[in-house]
């Protein structure tokens, strides 16, 4: 009897290559963002899409705050059309990051999600910036 893992046949290597390559076109992770920051190789704009108050309380160092609801053509006009945005929210329990990615892509910008958001950043043991430096699970406000 096959295990729960193998009872559904895995994708072919070619299908797996296509699938996981596509995921990397849409996602990055906290460790990669931190590593690029540490190396001084930041070729993207890191955006916290939560409310201004949530951002002031705590955020990823190097991030700017553009709440999703403020992402308009006028607001984003200061950015070159070839700007790559990396967006994050409170964590994997919030889809505000996806709304922000849809909005930015709709405005013609390249966008990737920093998977895990603030919760992932803390889980990686990386430092936060801001007033409260809360721990994961104790109040990272979404307010997207």
Looking at the annotation, which residues are catalytic? 89
Q: DSSP letters of 66-81?
A: --GGG--TTGGGGS-T
Yes or no: say if 99 and 14 are a contact pair by the CB < 8 Å rule. Answer: no
Supply 103's token pair.
């909005």
Report the alpha-carbon distance of residue 137 to residue 95 in Å, rounded.
Answer: 16
């Amino acid at each position: 009897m096959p295990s729960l893992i193998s009872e559904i046949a895995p994708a072919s290597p070619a299908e797996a290559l296509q699938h996981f390559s596509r995921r990397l076109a849409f996602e990055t992770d906290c460790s990669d963002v931190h590593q690029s920051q540490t190396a001084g190789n930041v070729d993207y704009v890191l955006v916290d899409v939560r409310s201004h108050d949530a951002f002031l309380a705590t955020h990823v160092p190097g991030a700017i705050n553009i709440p999703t609801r403020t992402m308009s053509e006028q607001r984003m006009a200061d950015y070159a059309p070839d700007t790559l945005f990396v967006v994050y929210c409170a964590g994997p329990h919030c889809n505000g990051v996806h709304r922000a990615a849809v909005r930015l892509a709709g405005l013609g910008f390249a966008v990737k999600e920093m998977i895990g958001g603030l919760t992932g950043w803390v889980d990686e043991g990386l430092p936060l910036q801001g007033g409260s430096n809360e721990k994961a699970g104790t109040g990272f406000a979404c307010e997207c």
